[in-house]
A and B are shown apart, each in its own frame.
Chain A
């Protein structure tokens, strides 16, 4: 494993995400609580970035802003040439459907749908036909090693298997960006390792850009770089390996 400091911003065509002057605060009654202050950095295409920091440092908020499920108070977030902070809600939903895959800590699968149906779900927003949707979903489940569990409901799967279904759902639309919020936070060590290995493979073999929020140092070490946040500010960025 290599480790080196790197500059805050990159330039060139390989930049997928560019944040400039991003700030976010929450209101608690009359009190305004700043969460992120003037954040600015770039994320390259094909990067696997782990966001770390203590609770309340703003890492999940930052992830939500990049994924387009929350809006900054100020600043711009350009993803693949689109400033997503300027997109109206309906366009932002379309943008998320086409560009972002989500992996959540508690998997967030639809409990009434089977593994296959859960993975097929995001494809219903595309123009794919029924058979094509099924083929894509089967392929995604095969990639995460769950071909033999396609008819199982989430309640019939272990935590690790559920998270692998969630990964299949996240990658089935072939998104530009995969965002994962504590993807191993609810898993045992072995399941966590399996999930992280799959994410690493997706990044390495398919070139998927991944941003992962984690508390777990061992999980973060599966990434190519770790970015530390403290009190809503970028503390440091550590490059772990370059391929």
Chain B
């Protein structure tokens, strides 16, 4: 790209790696034996992205640090997860992260629920009766299935995370419509969300209305949709470039296929995806 690294003096001058490189290439910044290989969701028609992870313990601790930055200590809370497609496909960084969160809570309740909504509702009821703060993470289509069974009284007071993705099981819908359905069904004022993907080891969280706050190791820049080398760190809309400082062993500077809007305080919104990019569903179809 004609970039001379020693002349790079600002974030805007950094060349970003197109995210597609994680599909056909092993993207690493040093030689190591991976402790895990995270893989994106995908169909048999698509190559799944692969992220070679040198230190699984670092990933888990870092994810917990970022979550607790946003929500406070996990200890004493209850984390429930309805992530059937991620569990079925395997090698998911999200599943590893949630599994670690569940362990960090010290909870006695089962954390993962595949399709057994009744058991999940019982766990929810039990945790609420014990006065515990409940975080429920769910893939979008599964939450919509649960929304048809649950009452607002059962969900009231929980923190509900929609992790994105219809996975072809339901029709796509705009974020406002989706969040309105979930808010009404679960009796919650806002739908939370996590911006994360296989290629990143950091996450950002939204506590409602689709606005994500940058985390201590993740920040986004916006690139011109017609000129991928024109990158801006000021308020604008366009393609999302991510700087993830936890990607020490792979690449910390990634050009994603997401479209977004950056606000002056560093918060951002994901508006959708570029045409022809994979439907993977990590918040990204919700625009």
Partners in one complex: no
